[in-house]
Amino acid sequence: MWLRPLWIAGRFLTRLPFPDPGPPQPLDKGRSVIWYPIVGLLLGALISLAALVTPTTAPGVGAALILILWVWSTGGMHLDGLADSADAWVGGIGNRERTLEIMKDPRSGPAAVTAIALLLIAKWSGLEALIATGDAWLLVWIPLLARSQLPLLLLTTAYARATGLVSDQVATLPRRAAGLSTLAAALGCLLFAGWIGAALVTTAVALFFVGRRVMLGRLGGFTGDTAGALVEITETFLLLLAALLLGPMGDLP
């Protein structure tokens, strides 16, 4: 079934009720990467719809509820990657092997807790601003662009481990289709979101190159944890950018 890779991608990246495709084969995992931007679009549509029906009389409360839904919908998967990456970058002290070792430790240290707390505060602030100004429709595009970073990362960057959570995706990725899906995500945002879409896409690309350079500098490649961290950082920066551009300051001549 041609939608089987979509079901695999949806169940891997979210808690949303995608059909169970059965045990995935390595080739299925590679094909599922093509659908990561679509999963992001569906997640964004859910969050945007929930935000649009949230009363603007209490945007702070609405933002908290939407943030809870957002975290629940992803199962905190990328937050876990952010936490592991923060601990590893601080504790690894510039050493590749030590950094990779810390990432495999299930315990969270002060750097992980601090990173998650700051990121969630930033997301809550951005959500509050968009809800207050009635611009919550932009939430459709933010998870889409953030998850488009994943096929782009697999296409351009070596995997830092011999085996791991995404090793099958790396080995069996349909490169042409993955590139087209990433391009389609960017073009869709540009087409439907206009100038703000251009700002979001440009920022997402800049974050990708900065994140990739940091990963290469420390690890010589990426891991599942650093990929998850890139998704979370991209979502947060895009959310804050949208809030700044469309908030009261953005309306000034």
Tens digit of each residue's pLDDT (9 = 90 or more) over 77-92: 999 999 999 999 999 9
Evaluate whether residue 12 is within a structural domain.
yes
Evaluate whether residue 116 is within a structural domain.
yes
For residue range 90-148, list pLDDT tens digits in order: 999 889 999 999 999 988 999 999 999 999 999 999 999 999 988 999 999 999 999 99
Confidence category of residue 216, pLDDT binned at 50, 70, 90 = very high
Range of the domain at 111: 4-16+27-244
pTM (two decimals): 0.94
Per-residue pLDDT for 253 more than 70? no
Average pLDDT, the chain: 93
In the chain the first and final C-alpha atoms are separated, in Å, by: 53
Evaluate whether residue 228 is within a structural domain.
yes
Evaluate whether residue 224 is within a structural domain.
yes
The letter for the amino acid at 90 is V
What CA–CA distance (Å, rounded) separates 203 from 199? 6
Evaluate whether residue 178 is within a structural domain.
yes
Evaluate whether residue 226 is within a structural domain.
yes
Evaluate whether residue 22 is within a structural domain.
no
> What domain count does the chain have?
1
Evaluate whether residue 251 is within a structural domain.
no
Confidence category of residue 248, pLDDT binned at 50, 70, 90 = low
